[in-house]
Structure 1
Amino acid sequence: MRRLFVAGNWKMNTTKESGVALAKEVAAAVPSGGSVDVMVAPPFPYSSAIHEAIAGSGVELGAQNLWYEPSGAFTGEVSADMLKDVGCAQVILGHSERRHVLGESDEVINKKNHRGLEAGLHVVFCVGEQLDDRDGGRTDAVLSTQLEGGLTGVEGGQFANLTVAYEPVWAIGTGRTASPEQAEAAHAHIRGWLREHYGAEIADSTRILYGGSVKPDNAAELIGQDNVDGALVGGASLKADQFIAIIQAAQGLS
C-alpha cells in the first residue's frame, strides 16, 4: 500500500508571525513516526522560521518553486541548494498558477523537475486541466501532454523522490471540487500513463495526490479512492484546524 501524503501549499499568504504560529499548531498535531507523510510549503522568506517551528515533528518543509540553474544572474529566483540550505526537503513544481498565471511551459517545468531531483529534493510535480479542457473532453489528453513534457528524461530510479499531484484548475480556490469519481478517473489515467511509460512497478508505487478545494468534509471520500494517495491542500492548509482535520482523515485511511 502506498503511504498517504498530505501537503499544504500556503502560496503567497501569512506573515512570519502567523506562519510560525500555524506551523507550530500543525507540528504539535503531527508527531514524528506517524502513519501519514505531511509537508508544508510556506513563502520563501519564512522558510527558516517555519523549519525551526516544525523541528522534531512529523512535518517536513517544502518550497513552492525553484529555478533550474544552480546559481547565477537570475534576479528574484531561488536555487535548489538554497532551499536545502534553509531546511527544505521537498519542492512543488508545475503548479497551475505557475503554468497559467506566470506562463511556465512544460519545457521549463521539465528543467525544474530535473534540477530538483538531481539536488536530492522530493519533487511534487503538478498536472491538471482547465475548465474548457474538462468541458471539451480533453482532460486525459492534457494530462498526457503535461506528463510527457514534465517527465521527459526522468529515469525510473528517480521516482522514489517524485510525487505527482493532479489539480483540476477549475477546482482550485473556486469552491468547486472534482467529484470522487472525476478525481479517481484522472488519477487512474495518470497511473496508466506511468505504467505505459515506466512499467507496473513504478506506476504502482508512485503516489498521486489530489489538489483542488480539499476540505475536512470531503477529504476522506477523495483520499479513499483507489488511485488517490493524499492531498495537495491550498486554502484549507492556512487554517490549522482544517489542515489537521484533513491529515486525520488520511490517518483514518492509512
Structure 2
Amino acid sequence: MKKNIFVANWKMNLTVAETKNLAEKLGQSLRSFKNDKTEIILCPAFTALDDLCTVLRKENPADLKIGAQDVFWEEKGAFTGEISAKMLKEVDCRYVIVGHSERRKNLGETDEMVNKKVKILLENDLVPIVCVGETFLERQKGLRDVIVARQTEAALRDVKLFGNKKIIIAYEPVWVIGTGQAVEPEDAEHSHRMIREALMENFPADVLEKHFQIIYGGSVDSKNIKDFVDRENIDGVLVGGASLKVEEFVKMIKQLA
C-alpha cells in the first residue's frame, strides 16, 4: 500500500539556525508517531540542506525525508547560482520540487525547463515533485483542465520509468497559493482525475499505479487536510506556510496516521 505524501515546502522563510531548530522540535514532537502511513518530506532552503542532513542523521525516529526546492538540468558546469542533482544527493536529498508556480511566475520557468529537470532527477534516482496548476484568469476562461493536462504532459515528455523510479505530481492552483484560501476538495478531486487521465494517455495502467502519486497543494492546514487526503484521487499534500509552525505541523501529520 502506498503511503500518503506530506511535503513541507519552507520556501525562502527560514535561516539555517531556524531550520535546525524547527527540524529538532519536529523530531521531538513526532518521536512517538508511528510513521507507517505517511512519507514526510522537508524542503528547506539550499543553504540549510547540509545542516538538516546532519540533524536527521543524528536522530530521526519519525523517518523524516529531505527534499530540495529546485535543481538544474545539467550535471555540472558554468551555471552560476544553480545546483545539481548530484550535489543534492550528497546531502541525503531524495525528493526535489520542480515547476512550482512561484518559479514559473517570478523566474520564467517553462514546461520545457521542467521537463529537463524531471529527466536529470530520474537519471540520478531522485523523485521529482512536479507542480502543475492554472491561474485565476485561465480558470475564469474555462481552461483549467486544458492547462493542467498540458503542463502534465509537457513535464513528462519522453520520460521513461522503470525499476523503483517514481514521480509525484502536485496540483497547485496558482490563484490560491499563499492566500489562505484553499479550493473546495471536490474541485481538487476533479483536477486530480484530469491529471490521472492525462497520465493514462502516455503511460500504461501498471506504470501509472507503480510509479506515480498525485498530491494537492494550496493553503493546506490542519483544518482542511483531511478533506483532501480522504479523496480517492488525492495521495497527499504539499504544504507551505502551515508547515512552518511545529504545533500545526504535528496536527496535520497526526490526521494522516
**Aligned partner of 1:188 among 164, 189, 193:** 193
1:8 aligns with 2:14: no
Aligned residue type for 2:224: N
Residues of 2 paired with 1:41 and 1:177: CA distance?
21
Aligned residue type for 1:64: Q
Which whole-Å deviations, capped at 9, do the CAs of 1:7-29 have from their partners, x for residues lacking one? 10000011112111111122231
Q: Retained in 1: the 8 A contact 2:8–2:238?
A: yes
Residues of 2 paired with 1:158 and 1:198: CA distance?
15
Residues of 1 paired with 2:163 and 2:179: CA distance?
34
- Residue 6 of structure 1: SS of its match in structure 2? strand
- Residue 157 of structure 1: SS of its match in structure 2? coil
Give 2:221's aligned residue: 215
1:20 aligns with 2:26: no
Residues of 1 paired with 2:10 and 2:93: CA distance?
14
Residues of 1 paired with 2:209 and 2:136: CA distance?
29
- Residue 122 of structure 2: SS of its match in structure 1? helix
User: How far off its partner does 1:127 sit?
Assistant: 0.6
Q: Retained in 1: the 8 A contact 2:153–2:199?
A: no
Give 1:244's aligned residue: 250
Give 1:39's aligned residue: 41
Aligned residue type for 2:153: E
Give 1:99's aligned residue: 104
- Residue 89 of structure 1: SS of its match in structure 2? strand
Cα gap change, 1:211 to 1:13, in 2 (>3 Å): same
Residues of 2 paired with 1:48 and 1:27: CA distance?
17
User: How far off its partner does 1:157 sit?
Assistant: 2.0
Give 2:150's aligned residue: 145
Gaps of 5+ in 2: none
Alignment of 1:79-90 (within 5 A): 79-90=84-95
Give 1:50's aligned residue: 52
Which whole-Å deviations, capped at 9, do the CAs of 1:119-159 have from their partners, x for residues lacking one? 11111111111111111111110011101211001113278
Residues of 1 paired with 2:184 and 2:65: CA distance?
29
As a proportion of its length, which structure holds more helix? 1
Cα gap change, 1:81 to 1:146, in 2 (>3 Å): same
Aligned residue type for 2:215: L
Give 1:179's aligned residue: 184
Residues of 1 paired with 2:129 and 2:206: CA distance?
19
Residues of 2 paired with 1:230 and 1:248: CA distance?
13
Q: Name the % identity.
A: 39
Count, aligned residues: 251
Cα gap change, 1:32 to 1:118, in 2 (>3 Å): farther
Gaps of 5+ in 1: none
* TM-score in terms of structure 1 length: 0.94
Aligned residue type for 2:166: N
Aligned residue type for 2:52: I
User: How far off its partner does 1:240 sit?
Assistant: 1.4
Which whole-Å deviations, capped at 9, do the CAs of 1:31-76 have from their partners, x for residues lacking one? 6753210000000001011112223331101100010011110000
Aligned residue type for 1:207: Q
Q: Retained in 2: the 8 A contact 1:68–1:79?
A: yes
- Residue 7 of structure 2: SS of its match in structure 1? strand
User: How far off its partner does 1:203 sit?
Assistant: 2.9
Moved over 6 A (4+): none
